[in-house]
Chains A and B, each alone.
Chain A
Amino acid sequence: MYDLIVIGGGPAGMAAALEAEKNGVASILILERAEFLGGILRQCIHTGFGMHYFREELTGPEYADRFVVPVEQNPRIEVKLGAMALELRPGGETHTVIAVSKSDGLLELRAKAVVLAMGCRERPRGALNIAGTRPAGIISAGAAQKYVNMDGFLPGNEVVILGSGDIGLIMARRMTFEGAHVKMVCELMPYSSGLTRNIVQCLDDFGIPLKLSCTVVAVHGKERLEGVTIAGVDERLKPIPGTEEEVPCDLLLLSVGLIPENELTRGAGVPIDPATGGAIVNQNRETALPGIFSCGNVLHVHDLVDYVTLESQLAGAGAAEYIRRKNAGETVRAPEYVPTKAGEGVRYVVPQQAEKNEAAGVKLYFRVGGVHKNAVVRLYANGKELARKKRPRLAPGEMEHIEIAPRQLAELPEGAELTVEILE
Chain B
Amino acid sequence: MSQIYDVAIVGGGVVGALIARELSRFPLRAALLERGNDVAVGTTKANSGIVHAGFDAQPGTWKAKMNVRGNALMPQLCQTLHVPYGQNGSLVVAFDESERPELNRLLERGRENGVPGLRLFSREELLAMEPNVNPGAAAALYAPTGGIVSPFELCVAAAECAAANGVDFFRNFEVQALCWEGDHFIIEAPAGQLHAKAVVNAAGVHADNVARMAGDDSFSIRARRGEYVLLDSSQAGVVRNTIFQCPSPMGKGVLISPTVHGNILIGPSAEDIDEKEDLSTTAPGLAGIQKTVARTVPGYPIRDVITSFTGLRACGNRHDFVLERSAANGNLIHAACMESPGLSSSPAIAERILELVRETLGGDWTEKPGWNPGRPKPVRIRELDNDGRRAAIAKNPAYGKVVCRCETVTEGEIIDAIRAPAGARDIDGVKRRTRAGMGRCQGGFCGARVLEILARELELPREEITKFGGGSKILLRQSK
Contacts and interface: CB of A to CB of B under 8 A. Distances in A.
B359 to A, nearest CB: 39
A377 to B, nearest CB: 31
A211 interface: no
B470 A129 contact: no
B464 to A, nearest CB: 11
B393 A126 contact: no
Interface residues of A, number: 56
B332 interface: no
Given A131-B286, A136-B473, A152 B479 contact: yes
A206 B379 CA distance: 49
Given A126-B230, A126-B308, A217-B283, A136 B476 contact: no
Interface stretch (A98-106, A280-288, A308-316): A98-106
Contact of B280 (A127, A131, A137): A131
Interface string A128-167: 0101111111011011001110111111110000000000
Given A105-B400, A179-B480, A153 B462 contact: yes
Interface residues of B, number: 56
Contacts of A103: 397, 400
A239 B283 CA distance: 11
Interface in B429-480: 440-445, 447-448, 452, 462-463, 466-468, 470-480
Contacts of B389: 100, 106
A153 B475 contact: yes
Contact of A142 (B285, B381, B444): B444
A108 interface: yes
Contacts of B452: 151
Interface string B388-420: 011001100111111001101010000000000
Contact of B442 (A101, A125, A131): A125
B138 interface: no
A132 B281 contact: yes
Contacts of B401: 82, 100-102
A173 to B, nearest CB: 14
A224 B470 CA distance: 9
A232 B462 CA distance: 37
A56 interface: no
A124 B381 CA distance: 24
A181 interface: no
Contact of A153 (B309, B398, B406, B478): B478
Contacts of A100: 381, 389, 393, 399-402, 410
Contact of A105 (B286, B397, B445): B397
Interface of B: 229-230, 277, 279-283, 285-286, 305-309, 381, 386, 389-390, 393-394, 397-402, 405-406, 408, 410, 440-445, 447-448, 452, 462-463, 466-468, 470-480
8 contacts: A106-B386, A134-B309, A135-B472, A136-B468, A136-B472, A147-B475, A151-B452, A218-B283
